[in-house]
Structure 1
């Protein structure tokens, strides 16, 4: 273990010891009987999750699971995937080209080209989401978020090497109710949402929800007066959801839901530094390299449509045997226009335009059984995935002409899996599971170059290719209840991410699957009669054949290719601490320290000199052994303090402040300084008031109080020989009012 990493982990352990010590002391001196059913605020709430595809207390799951319920999501104003960062140790969410880039425990995908797979599996009401952009729809009617860290290959299958995120939406209520919420904020933000829910009969319930959200003033200012836009990162969204639950008998339930979301807006694209090519640099001026400012001569757009239908049927075959079927269909469209040179002049002579269309069908069956007087809990499952994605990209380069890429990919996958937890005694349980997965991908690709003189070059004629992969991903482990409130566990598991084909390429670029294997040990404890919760976990993974995205210059055109890095090693520690310090004051801490580095990977460094990776004669490979993985900070800590009080018997006032610290984040394998984010911290503040009548709730918030600018993504744009990427949102603030009836 490297000395630096030892120092980091020892420092983290010491910090955790300092944090836990007072908590444990408090636990030992807390008065008995404080936490009662009549005083629920005096104890930490239990959250029931379905992380292991069965309902159970989050504290009983032998894995690191962060669960945020509706109350926490509402108070902390979590209305996008990016807002989850800081709430979950090891979770990093970036963004580029309107795509969410999700990293868990140092495991992530590279730049998203539209046809590649994520490294963290995301589900909305049990339906797998192949397009990372689509997960924003889950923020409509959200009831709970569950984040499982580490490989989840047995229960969640392919593309869960980093973990899994489950979004659970609200269902119909048992009695008629409704609510309407209005929001205002800076940057011209305003919106309206609402829902109506209740029974149609004693066997049928319905919930109807809708939203309108508008940020009319984007937070990126365009500096040139002749631009088609004066701001970027604006958006407008309209969406709705209908869910109907039917329960004709006591043993059968059918839930059918449909969700739709349509959005219009734009996405920013920033230059971080001048081009290394003097001629391009001169042609690109003026440029700015400051956050939230840019130059552009293009009418940027980011428009999308998303639809999902899910049918979930549950049969209680016996008291100890149940069968669940989850059928989903998704349709996704996106149209994006960006200025590839971030300049008011025209080195690229036109925008980059990308159109994405996809249709996805999934089917999953789960057979759950409780056998031998509940000593054996078993699940047997089947999963089928059918995905078609059509991606076309057009861009114009000053030295070549208009470049037209087209990729059509079909992906088919099926899996069978089983997982078992057996109680040897009342306090000791053994875990064993196994999954077999078969993947097939077929691609049709083409690339045409229309030169400036009008001639057409068929650089990549219409080409077809196929690949297939098989994988076995086991899980074994144990659980021991040391006491009724303290559980220790250990697991070993494998994960598998499918191989495939890169899009936007000048030749067919296939790559192999990546695999991960390793273990996690942890302890989950509730102390001081439920007033304190301390969860600790340590993990170690061998990560092989990483799918690493890099850029190369071909025909004066920057194209992204995907290569399999040889191997890397990841290990670290995580901690979650919650404490009810007084009946009015709560503390929560989520932190991690880790090492996530390449063990062996030889590749070409585009930033070494002009054209470094442009031809066999100039290409020089370097080994980046010891460098950090992309978007894998060495530490992060989030500390939240929450105070609640009755105000003159009129209602409940809650004030929450939180601060998030992140270690250094690298956005390429070469630790290039201009696309490396140095350590940073941000602070947020939330206020909520609800009267005793519970008829309304008034909330206010400030996010990123210090207006800190940090990189969300970065890469070397080889066509322009320039470091580019995205900045974080600036300070945002606002208020919303929810009225219930």
Structure 2
């Protein structure tokens, strides 16, 4: 049994008449079109300033004192600004109707787990379990519900799960096979969405009505010889939103996010040498994942505030990938129970190119950003245990 209370007090402030200009230095050039942050070597940064720009302004950017510096696509047209006095931040007027708004939510839940087991023999065990659980709701600190004059809140989610499986050890202990089938059923599931309304972008938590998951897991380990072990792991996941909140009258088909439909790992551990206090071990592994997307949905709208046109923005996928890693380790026992080891390793040795996380910035900025996985990477580890 759990009881929780969540609180949120909003401390929003708005810049006074005249906007942010009241808190930044003088501007040079025209209004910003497609702005890009200037970064790079000192020589490059200096080359971006119009002729005649005061040296103290240029040096401020070089020293990192300028908070923001932007460059137009038009050559030699520059706009820049810097925060003049952070100590004066308290003088920015409080946002009417929002600043100081106090919110509170109380949650309580009783959950449990029931497990049944059956041992076929000393080496094989079957089991089944039923579990309920919950996660408390809360508030989105970056959003405020001006229609109701209250904090932007989200509710608790609940889950009921069922799982059946088997765990076994066969072939005189040289073979292990574990498998499971499971289902998850959520009510009011909490999902993260990117909102791109009113010229701004935010990440909020909202409640979808119902969400279900079913999956299979398989884990096999085989000691092929006294020095060679092979392992394989596989997971299949099928996730569906049975119901999802409508956005400005638009039915949104959400994705299942960062969980791939299929993924597997293959691992080989080979003890090449073990004699006279010396050992040489080699590991080779491959990990595969289906393509995914990073965020369930990215809703936005085009048009005027009185006639918005809702859209569910496309997202670039995180591509399917197979990452291959290798590691060769030499270890030697020294006197007085000390040891030393040297490991030569490589990650993503096939140099797979793949995205890992990103989202669409929406109608206001009009492009998507993404992080990419590390390229082929190699290294040497040296460890001395004293």
**TM-score between the two structures when normalised by the length of structure 2:** 0.70
Give me the whole-angstrom Cα distance separating, in 2, the residues matched to 1:462 and 1:647.
68
Shift of 1:739: 1.2
* SS of residue paired to 2:384: strand
Any residues of structure 2 matched to 1:459-474 within 5 Å, and which?
Answer: 460-474=98-112
> SS of the counterpart of 2:14?
strand
Instruction: Work out whether residues 193 and 296 of structure 2, in 8 Å CA contact, stay in contact via their aligned partners in 1.
Output: no
Work out the CA distance in 2 between the residues paired with 1:550 and 1:539: 26
Q: Does structure 2 retain, via aligned residues, the 8 Å contact 1:506–1:559?
A: no
Aligned to 1:419: none
Distance in 2 (CA, whole Å) between partners of 1:669 and 1:692 is 52
1-side partners of 2:274 and 2:173: how far apart?
26
Contact 2:233–2:266 at 8 Å: present in 1 too?
yes
Structure 2 SS opposite 1:454: helix
Cα distance in 2 for residues equivalent to 1:488 and 1:648: 41
Please give the residue correspondences for 1:141-180 in structure 2 after superposition, counting only pairs within 5 Å.
none
Shift of 1:737: 1.4
Find the counterpart in structure 2 of residue 280 from structure 1.
Answer: none
Identify which of 584, 589, 593 aligns with 2:227. 584
Q: How many residues were matched structurally? A: 290
Q: How far 1:453 moved relative to its partner?
A: 4.3
1:664 to 2:291 alignment: yes
Residue 688 (structure 1) aligned with residue 329 (structure 2): yes
Counterpart of 1:454?
22
Give 1:622's match in structure 2, choosing from 251, 255, 279.
251
- State the secondary structure of the residue aligned to 2:10: strand
Shift, 1:549, TM fit? 2.3
Matched, 1:677 2:290: no
**For 1:725 and 1:620, how far apart are their aligned partners in 2?**
29
- The higher-RCO structure (CA 8 Å, 6+ apart) is 1
1:215-364 matched pairs, under 5 angstroms: none
Which runs of structure 2 are paired with 1:556-635 in the superposition (5 Å)?
556-604=199-247, 619-624=248-253, 627-635=254-262
Offset of residue 650 of structure 1: 5.8
> 2:263 & 2:317 partners in 1: Cα distance?
16
Q: 1:703 aligns with which of 347, 356, 360?
A: 347
- The answer to whether the 8 Å contact 1:645/1:654 transfers is yes
Partner of 1:547: 190
Hey, what's the Cα distance between the residues in 2 that align with 1:554 and 1:598? 24
CA distance in 2, matches of 1:730, 1:541: 36
* Equivalent position of 1:503 in the other structure: 141
Cα 1:452/1:740, change in 2 over 3 Å = closer
Matches within 5 A, 1:89-104: none
C-alpha separation between the residues in 2 aligned to 1:555 and 1:680? 37
1:662–1:553 CA distance, 2 compared to 1 (3 A): closer
Measure how far apart 1:551 and its partner are: 3.1
Does 2:361 match 1:717? Answer: yes
* Stretches of 4+ aligned residues off by more than 6 angstroms: none
2 CA distance for matches of 1:706 and 1:672?
33
Distance 1:459 1:733, change over 3 A: farther
CA distance in 2: counterparts of 1:709 and 1:439, whole angstroms: 44
SS in 1 for 2:125: strand
Aligned partners of 1:641 and 1:553: how far apart in 2? 46
Q: Distance in 2 between matches of 1:563 and 1:575?
A: 33
Matched with 2:126 is 488
Deviation at 1:498, TM superposition (A): 1.2
Call closer, same or farther: CA 1:458–1:712 in 2, change over 3 Å: farther
Deviation at 1:506, TM superposition (A): 4.0
The counterpart of 1:475, out of the listed 93, 113, 117, is: 113
Residue aligning to 2:161: 518
Which deviates the most, 581-590 or 729-738? 729-738
Contact persistence 1:475–1:491 (CA under 8 A): yes
Aligned to 2:304: none
Structure 1 residue 724: Cα displacement: 2.1
Query: Larger % of strand: which?
Result: 1
- Pairwise CA distance, 1:569: 1.2
Q: What secondary structure does 1:502 align onto?
A: strand
Alignment match, 2:383: 738
State the Cα distance separating 1:628 from its structure 2 match.
3.5
Partner of 1:282: none
Q: CA separation in 1, counterparts of 2:319 and 2:370?
A: 15
5+ long unaligned stretches in structure 2: 24-93, 146-150, 298-311
Q: Deviations over 1:570-590 (max 9, x none)?
A: 001001111110111110111
Deviations 1:223-272 (A, max 9, x none): xxxxxxxxxxxxxxxxxxxxxxxxxxxxxxxxxxxxxxxxxxxxxxxxxx
In the aligned structure 2, how far is the partner of 1:648 from the partner of 1:523?
38
* Residue correspondence of structure 1 range 20-169 to structure 2 within 5 A: none
Name the Cα RMSD after superposition. 2.2
